[in-house]
């Protein structure tokens, strides 16, 4: 075999090349061992493209039928694990196309008419990501439902609310959990927003400038479900932009990073709450691990790992956005580096959301139709912690304001009362009336209702406040929104 015939079969562009790639360079440039994950999108994109080529009389109906037949077989081969992925064929696109030609001959070679791997890969990534966004959005709803269900059981459960991790004011535990529901609802909305810009068709842009074949891009867009809510085809309107920008992937990663940051906040609270010092909640044993040396330990590994994994997802965002920076138009091979961070982001999100929904809400028992094994709440420990920290001091100040004191003076008066309570080792509500009256004569017996934990909670009955009545309204709103 002559030098320049080295492996024509294996390389789509080989005629021009006079020496083979070294194994190291092959391995360095190949993406097949990770981008084979795009195979379903690649097959779907090719079938839509082929059907359009036939409808436009660019290829024959016989060619189309052969391509469809070949793709059916390829699907079966990949699904059963029989498909042989070859490093020499670089990526998912060339592997599938080469196999197609092996199976159906010349029709396979016609598939790539009016197309480039540049618009092909951009289409594949968008199709794949669209599907993953839908899965992630559903998992986000599962997690929100789990949180809402636990919140519903604990509208009246009181725990201390913190600022600066110092006891601040009493809260309903349900209200506390609903704060995370708000965050995850916004995360889901961001995913939905990103989806609209992901779901736009690059095919037809070809390598960078469009193509001389009379393609019907709208037909391909419709076939691939790249349509808006009115069913209008969504098509990239500039060929250079279509093949080169990965801003949709960056946007997705940004939404993913925020979502993981929210998860990390919840994780941190779970870790604190599970500690002996707080003792607020327990999670099921299957989400904890023991220590190899300290027999008494149950560690909140899942929550800690999720907190840690937020780092890698934020890191992927940095990777992707830096990858795009300074790239001249149009396609550059740099973009092949978009896949691994995206794949890992998606995997991390899906696993984390699944685990959290179950860890918090439990698992459905089909026999009872009820969920079991979610977090266990120690309402007594929560109440005691709220009781300890003078959480109703603000309520006493507000009480004095209603009696006519300016707020600043009331604040100062209560500080003295708290000091006395600290010295005596009791809560404000445990100081006798005559002692309280030494701080301000207008204090009456009705103060005890006001400075009780329950009284404090019930008083915060404004929209978005922690009063159980408000929490119940919010639970109803969230349920209506998600049904």
* C-alpha–C-alpha distance, residues 433 and 436, integer Å: 5
By residue count, the chain amounts to 483
Residues whose CB falls within 8 Å of the CB of residue 269, separated by 6 or more in sequence, listed in order: none
In the complex, the smallest distance separating the C-beta of residue 95 from ligand ARG, rounded to whole angstroms, is: 11
Task: Using the minimum distance from each CB to ligand ARG, give the nearer residue, 117 or 371.
Answer: 117
Nearest partner of 302 among 278, 266, 253, judged by Cα: 266
Is residue 264 part of the contact set for ligand ARG (CB under 6 A)? no
Burial class of residue 153, CB neighbours in 10 A (0-12, 13-18, 19+): middle
Would you say 199 or 335 has its CB closer to ligand ARG? 335
Instruction: Name the one range near ligand ARG by CB under 6 A: 49-57, 210-218, 328-336, 421-429.
Output: 328-336
Q: Which is nearer to ligand ARG, 327 or 384 (CB)?
A: 327
Q: CB of 244: closest distance to ligand ARG in angstroms?
A: 10
The single residue among 110, 112, 115, 117 that binds ligand ARG, judged by CB under 6 A, is 117
> Is 91 a binder of ligand ARG (CB under 6 A)?
yes
Q: Which helix (H) or strand (E) holds 117?
A: helix 117-153
**Binding flag, residue 157, ligand ARG (CB under 6 A):** no
Query: Which residue number, 35 or 132, has a Cβ lying nearer to ligand ARG?
Result: 35
User: Nearer Cβ to ligand ARG, position 31 or 172?
Assistant: 31
Q: Which of 336, 345, 348, 352 binds ligand ARG (CB under 6 A)?
A: 336
Out of 48, 104, 121, 459, point to the residue binding ligand ARG (CB under 6 A).
Answer: 121
333 is a site residue for ligand ARG (CB under 6 A):
yes
Candidate segments 113-121, 137-145, 175-183, 387-395, binder of ligand ARG by CB under 6 A? 113-121
For the question of residue 411 being annotated catalytic, the response is no
Are 324 and 247 spatial neighbours (Cβ–Cβ below 8 Å)?
yes
Q: Is 246 in the site for ligand ARG (CB under 6 A)?
A: no
Our finding on whether 187 is near ligand ARG (CB under 6 A) is no
Helices (H), ranges, 281-392: 301-324, 339-361, 379-388
In the complex, the smallest distance separating the C-beta of residue 129 from ligand ARG, rounded to whole angstroms, is 14
**Minimum Å distance from CB 253 to ligand ARG?**
17
Nearer to ligand ARG, 198 or 471 (CB): 198
118 binds ligand ARG (CB under 6 A): yes
Q: Name which of 91 and 358 has its Cβ closer to ligand ARG.
A: 91
Does residue number 375 form part of the binding site for ligand ARG (CB under 6 A)? Answer: no
Site size for ligand ARG (CB under 6 A)? 10
**Nearest to ligand ARG of 47, 121 (CB atom):** 121
- What's the chain's Rg over C-alpha atoms? 31
Rounded CA-CA distance 337/324 in Å is 10
Report 21-80 residues binding ligand ARG (CB under 6 A): 31, 35
Residue 418 CA: distances (Å) to CA of 17, 87, 320, 338, 391: 84, 73, 53, 58, 10
Return the H-helix or E-strand segment holding 372: strand 370-372
Q: Which stretch binds ligand ARG (CB under 6 A): 81-89, 170-178, 327-335, 443-451?
A: 327-335
Q: Which residues contact 215 (CB under 8 A, 6 or more apart)?
A: 52, 53, 56, 58, 114, 204
Determine, following the binding rule CB under 6 A, whether residue 358 of this chain makes contact with ligand ARG.
no
Among the listed residues 275, 291, 416, 442, the single catalytic one is 291
Beta-bridge partner residues of 158: 172
What is the sign of the dihedral through the CA atoms of 94, 95, 98 and 104? negative
Q: By CB under 6 A, tell whether 16 contacts ligand ARG.
A: no
CB of 18 to ligand ARG, least distance (A): 19
Contacts of 40-43 with CB under 8 Å at 24 or more apart are 40/128, 41/123, 41/124, 41/125, 41/127, 41/128, 41/131, 42/92, 42/93, 42/96, 42/120, 42/124, 43/71, 43/74, 43/75, 43/96
Name the minimum Å distance from CB 125 to ligand ARG.
8
Binding segment (CB under 6 A) for ligand ARG, from list 103-111, 117-125, 210-218, 301-309: 117-125
| CA-based nearest residue to 90, from 132, 115, 114, 121 | 121
Nearest approach in angstroms of CB 91 to ligand ARG is 4
> Is 2 an active-site residue?
no
CA 340 to each of CA 146, 239, 330, 345, 353: distance values in angstroms, whole numbers, following the listed order: 31, 25, 21, 8, 20
Q: Which range touches ligand ARG (CB under 6 A), out of 10-18, 115-123, 158-166, 278-286?
A: 115-123
155 contacts ligand ARG (rule: CB under 6 A): no
- Residue 325 makes contact with ligand ARG by CB under 6 A: no
Indicate which residue of 18, 22, 80, 164 is catalytic.
164
CA 358 to chain centre: 16
CB half-sphere exposure, 436, CA atoms < 13 A = 23
CA nearest 25: which of 41, 36, 11, 39?
11
Q: Which of the residues are catalytic? A: 164, 291
* Residues forming the site for ligand ARG (CB under 6 A): 31, 35, 91, 117-118, 121, 331, 333, 335-336
């Amino acid at each position: 075999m002559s030098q320049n015939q080295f492996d024509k079969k294996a390389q789509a562009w080989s005629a021009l090349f006079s020496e083979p790639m070294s194994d190291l360079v092959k391995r360095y440039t190949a993406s097949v061992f990770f981008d084979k994950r795009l195979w379903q999108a690649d097959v779907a994109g090719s079938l839509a493209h082929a059907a359009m080529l036939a409808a436009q009389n660019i290829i024959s109906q016989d060619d189309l039928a052969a391509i469809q037949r070949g793709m059916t077989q390829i699907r079966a081969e990949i699904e059963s694990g029989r498909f042989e992925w070859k490093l020499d064929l670089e990526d998912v696109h060339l592997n599938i196309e080469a196999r197609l030609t092996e199976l159906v001959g010349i029709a396979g070679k016609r598939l790539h008419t009016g197309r480039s791997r540049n618009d092909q890969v951009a289409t594949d990534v968008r199709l794949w990501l669209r599907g993953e966004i839908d899965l992630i959005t559903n998992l986000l709803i599962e997690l929100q439902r789990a949180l809402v269900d636990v919140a519903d059981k604990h509208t009246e459960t009181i725990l201390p609310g913190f600022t600066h991790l110092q006891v601040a004011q009493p809260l309903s535990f349900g209200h506390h959990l609903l704060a995370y529901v708000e965050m995850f609802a916004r995360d889901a909305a961001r995913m939905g927003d990103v989806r609209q810009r992901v779901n736009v068709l690059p095919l037809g842009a070809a390598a960078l400038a469009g193509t001389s074949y009379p393609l019907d891009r709208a037909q391909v867009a419709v076939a691939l479900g790249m349509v808006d809510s009115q069913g209008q085809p969504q098509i990239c309107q500039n060929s250079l932009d279509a093949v080169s920008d990965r801003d949709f992937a960056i946007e997705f990663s940004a939404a993913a990073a925020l979502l993981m940051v929210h998860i990390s906040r919840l994780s941190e609270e779970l870790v604190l709450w599970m500690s002996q010092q707080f003792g607020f909640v327990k999670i099921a044993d299957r989400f904890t691990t023991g220590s190899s040396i300290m027999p008494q330990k149950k560690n909140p590994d899942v929550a800690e790992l999720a907190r840690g994994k937020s780092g890698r997802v934020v890191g992927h965002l940095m990777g992707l956005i830096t990858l795009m920076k300074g790239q001249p138009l149009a396609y550059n091979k740099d973009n092949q580096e978009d896949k691994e961070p995206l794949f890992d982001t998606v995997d991390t999100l899906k696993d984390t959301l699944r685990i959290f929904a179950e860890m918090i809400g439990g698992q459905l028992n089909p026999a009872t139709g009820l969920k079991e094994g979610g977090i266990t709440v120690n309402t007594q420990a929560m109440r005691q912690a709220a009781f300890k920290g003078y959480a109703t001091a603000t309520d006493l100040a507000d009480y004095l304001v209603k009696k006519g004191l300016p707020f600043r003076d009331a604040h100062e008066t209560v500080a003295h009362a708290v000091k006395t309570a600290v010295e005596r080792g009791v809560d404000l509500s445990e100081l006798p009336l005559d002692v309280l009256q030494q701080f301000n004569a207008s204090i009456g017996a009705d103060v005890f209702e006001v400075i009780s934990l329950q009284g404090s909670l019930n008083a915060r009955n404004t929209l978005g406040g922690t009063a159980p009545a408000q929490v119940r309204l919010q639970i109803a709103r969230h349920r209506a929104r998600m049904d």
